[in-house]
């Protein structure tokens, strides 16, 4: 994993679990300067959880860095890797409310919101619901859950780029169920089955497909991690749960409602060769929101760990660190 462009590793100085209702408890942590500028990191997936290296996008001398694991993944409980975990209270609206609950719990007035991939969708949703709480937005690998975006990556569009890897994604689904536009639903039927013999193979296939295609060059370590059954089950179950429900949002909502956040300083960072969330979505957001700075990294795919994307994200947080706001 490329992290040379980022700040050195740091450890949290505070952490805990926050009850947010519906039986869910969120793991959260704070690192960096306790008196620094607050920033909240929104991880991808949905369902990926956070990792220690993600603290490193922010200057620890100038930022109060908040990471948390969204409902049912990472170190939050209950965990979607356990088939009995109910996901009915895991929706975009619940996660937006959780971010606000965490902000109040930590005594933060306003904070910078940093999110990539699914985290960019959640950042847009949160900022549009609570613009008064956001000082800046740093967004990467733009994803807005439009039908065209889901069809591209999970219904066969991206197979044109990765026909060999696509065969692995298709493998758990019988030929008769590989109908046009029906793969996400076919996966859903298996991922909700309580029997590990039924849900684990498609969960691993779903997660390996994504981890194999998010970087310009394959990351063997990330691909191997994707095969761990419990985490793969959580990741695939939560993503699929969101996708079959369209994120509980109107089609195109996150771009259509940009006027609510047009006044918020923002940076959009997009890898030109992003096969997971292709640049067309970032371009649509850019055209709707020209005030936001738009940075295209010409030698990168989707992952925040890729050198050019990491450098662009750090440059954005460094610049915003100079702007007052707490």
SS3 state of residue 212: helix
- Calculate the alpha carbon distances from 164 to 127, 213, 219 in Å: 39, 11, 16
Secondary-structure percent of the chain, ordered helix, strand, coil, rounded to 5: 45, 15, 40
Tell me, yes or no, if 211 is annotated catalytic. Answer: no
**Among residues 188, 241, 286, 302, which one is catalytic?**
302
**Cα(68)–Cα(28) distance, rounded to whole angstroms?**
4
**Cα(296)–Cα(107) distance, rounded to whole angstroms?**
35
Question: Could you tell me the two tokens for 70?
Answer: 């969204």
Kind and range of the H or E run holding 225: helix 220-226
Q: Name the residue with tokens 């969204």.
A: 70
Is there a contact between 207 and 235 (Cβ–Cβ < 8 Å)? yes
**Among residues 120, 212, 274, 305, which one is catalytic?**
274
**Among residues 117, 120, 212, 305, which one is catalytic?**
117
Query: What phi, psi does 87 have (nearest 5°)?
Result: -100, 10
List residues with catalytic annotation: 117, 274, 302
């Amino acid at each position: 994993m490329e992290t040379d462009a980022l700040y050195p590793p740091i450890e949290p100085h505070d952490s805990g679990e926050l009850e947010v209702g519906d039986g869910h408890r969120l793991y959260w942590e704070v690192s960096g300067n306790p008196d620094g500028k607050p920033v909240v990191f929104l991880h991808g997936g949905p369902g990926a959880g956070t990792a220690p290296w993600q603290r490193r996008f922010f200057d620890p001398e100038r930022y109060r860095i908040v990471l948390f694991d969204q409902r049912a993944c990472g170190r939050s409980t209950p965990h979607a890797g356990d088939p009995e975990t109910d996901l009915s209270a895991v929706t975009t609206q619940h996660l937006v409310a959780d971010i606000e609950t965490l902000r109040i719990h930590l005594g933060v007035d306003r904070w910078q919101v940093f999110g990539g991939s699914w985290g960019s969708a959640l950042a847009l949703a949160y900022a549009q619901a609570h613009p008064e709480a956001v000082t800046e937005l740093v967004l990467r690998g733009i994803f807005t859950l439009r039908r065209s975006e889901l069809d591209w990556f999970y219904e066969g569009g991206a197979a044109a780029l990765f026909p060999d890897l696509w065969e692995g994604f298709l493998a758990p689904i019988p030929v008769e169920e590989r109908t046009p536009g029906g793969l996400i639903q076919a996966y859903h039927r298996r991922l909700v089955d309580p029997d590990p013999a039924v849900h684990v193979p498609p969960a691993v296939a779903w997660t390996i497909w994504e981890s194999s295609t998010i970087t310009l060059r394959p990351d063997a370590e990330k691909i191997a991690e994707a095969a761990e059954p419990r985490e793969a089950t959580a990741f695939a179950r939560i993503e699929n749960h969101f996708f079959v429900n369209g994120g509980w949002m109107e089609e195109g909502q996150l771009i259509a409602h940009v006027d609510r956040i047009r006044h918020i300083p923002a940076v959009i960072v997009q890898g030109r060769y992003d096969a997971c969330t292709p640049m067309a979505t970032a371009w649509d957001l850019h055209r709707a929101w020209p005030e936001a700075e738009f940075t295209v990294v010409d030698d990168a795919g989707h992952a925040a760990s890729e050198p050019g994307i990491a450098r662009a994200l750090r440059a954005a947080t460094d610049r915003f660190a100079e702007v007052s706001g707490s």
